[in-house]
Structure 1
């Protein structure tokens, strides 16, 4: 069955963003298998727009209506709509669409909301911004939550990257539709590039460099880093840091870290093709994230042979728990996190080489080639089942729909 797939993303199409990278790599796999894939993102909904933070929030709220209008006008062109949760809070019937609507998680809204509500209790900080701004963004988050709740109940199939999200949707949100649990992965070529670019283990140990990949935000551990760095400097005085893809400037880090940035190399953004070189001379990865869909940054670093210490949350847990559980640290346990990093920085070469090899073996288990095919088989089955159910209904008022088998 050759499928015609529409990807719906309520974000600017920028491969530096994790969601866009995931969907770009999936799209490449699906096209290579002979399927047609089109895209509807912020870039199509708001062409040429250079949004401020306020305007972005308003556009995000209006995006579902624009996506729905596009689909209603072109519904016959697609068999599958694969939409990020919240970007398309409509059923197939409401869209006049006879195909399958999939709601895809790139990090479950309920888990993220739970974290956001915990921030002020976990890290008391003076409130930033204006009262009007806090009210505005609070209302925007409410609209996003409501759209996400509608989307997970109206979709014909849900696609989530870890089992914990599936359990949450069933037990907390009361979702009864089929849920597909599929992790993220790496292409064979990219995994080989990451591995081949890595410096010899003895050289990497000599660098004593900790690498962090991720946007600078409380969810990614921004408020823990000051204590992690302070404690690690006590344990390994010559330690250095490289922060990649933080998407902010040094002023934000200086405000949160409250310390010298002299031994911290900041690379605010990079292209995926540059990552193998940026990881090549690092010693250990650090990923103190409090909530994740999957944690693709962990997989990147493992593929480069970097032991990566992470908080024990869904996503990183799915990657590390089976083979390297010692790299998982209870979230918020800064002392244990710093000690785990120092243990790797000070590891004997033979031990480090063994861990590095295990890291690369773990990364090889997550292949986009296999994930893309498994996902498509599930989509095809769900689509055929939907067509069969429709064919069992009375013909009166039924729209025609063809599936190429």
Structure 2
């Protein structure tokens, strides 16, 4: 079932709530609604089975809807095979083409390096299959929705018309905003650095031990709170760190979304050493809790952060120095925390749903005008 605790599902659930308030009738479908047995497949087999099932489903039912909003990986078929009266919108939560442009570092352990050598060819083949299907899906869509400007640039460089690409960020719901607003902008007494996200190489797991080592050397009483690792238990995360750094870390793998503002209340600054994002929702959540965030300058975070809060990917020392600078200057930190709360206010689901609705209606009007002039296209 869709869950508010999981990335893409959370996004669609929150968006649908606000679209409904604007008068849209919305239906959210699980992959199992499209293909009941899909969970028995993985990898390339999942890809092939699901794209075929989605095609069959939309050929049968698309004409019943004004808009079909679907993942950019899963509809690599000619647009002419589907209802022309329906607006087809390819949505990218994380543009698959970026994995060619922004490669993810390998894990440093010998076991992982050996696994990469053994499985690297099959993984590359799978990536190329995804890119091939995504490219056709996007080319054939009526409208393309991406969450950052780097994704739009990537697609334009690959020959996609800029006119049919819209950049729409993500947001925070009204009810969650109230919880975040309760978090004080006054810096906590004890320096604590926050991170929200899974703990893997894409999110900067390789870099984290050096970040902790560098910051703790210059701020000896600092501690780190790592939230939402989900894919790894606390012990698994801590195993990535030398024993002399473990005491600086608190790991909370899982929590309810309503609990997050409280977990961030006593955090001073955030780090986000991710190598690639569609948007970087963890950054927005930290900003909403009055936490200024230092991130790598890769797709996603620049939608929310100014240049002074960004460093080149892999620049561990640069990221750490910016955190240290804030922790050592209470006046600077106080101003940064006020800015963070204010900056987050730009990103609300209410506004994003309004933008989404306007894009839908604009494209639908254009489509209907074209169809009226060319009745054979209906």
Same fold (TM over 0.5): yes
Instruction: State the distance in 2 between where 1:212 and 1:280 align.
Output: 13
Instruction: State the distance in 2 between where 1:27 and 1:372 align.
Output: 8
Partner secondary structure for residue 220 of structure 1: coil
Instruction: State the distance in 2 between where 1:111 and 1:258 align.
Output: 32
Q: Does 2:207 correspond to 1:220?
A: no
Distance 1:285 1:156, change over 3 A: same
Quick check: 1:161–1:293 contact (8 Å CA) kept in 2?
Answer: yes
Structure 1: 5+ residue stretches without partners: 1-11, 400-405
Deviation, 1:313, is 2.3
Q: Which of 294, 305, 318 is the aligned partner of 2:290?
A: 305
Quick check: 1:199–1:281 contact (8 Å CA) kept in 2?
Answer: no
1:6-405 alignment runs, 5 A limit: 13-45=2-34, 47=36, 55=42, 58-96=45-83, 98-116=85-103, 119-120=105-106, 126-129=112-115, 133-175=119-161, 178-196=164-182, 198-199=183-184, 201-202=186-187, 204=188, 206-247=189-230, 248-259=232-243, 260-321=245-306, 325-348=307-330, 350-395=331-376, 399=378
Instruction: State the distance in 2 between where 1:292 and 1:249 align.
Output: 22
Quick check: 1:210–1:239 contact (8 Å CA) kept in 2?
Answer: yes
Task: State the number of aligned residues.
Answer: 375
Instruction: State the distance in 1 between where 2:375 and 2:136 align.
Output: 28
Instruction: State the distance in 2 between where 1:36 and 1:277 align.
Output: 34
Partner secondary structure for residue 30 of structure 1: helix
Distance 1:143 1:385, change over 3 A: same
Query: What do residues 325-375 of structure 1 show as CA deviations (whole Å, max 9, x unaligned)?
Result: 322122211111111112222222x43322211111111112221121111
Distance 1:319 1:76, change over 3 A: same
Partner secondary structure for residue 68 of structure 2: strand
Distance 1:16 1:47, change over 3 A: farther
Instruction: State the distance in 2 between where 1:150 and 1:200 align.
Output: 47
Query: What do residues 143-162 of structure 1 show as CA deviations (whole Å, max 9, x unaligned)?
Result: 21111111110101111122
Partner secondary structure for residue 253 of structure 1: helix
Instruction: State the distance in 1 between where 2:186 and 2:13 align.
Output: 32
Structure 2: 5+ residue stretches without partners: none
Distance 1:14 1:62, change over 3 A: farther
Q: TM-score, normalised by structure 1?
A: 0.85
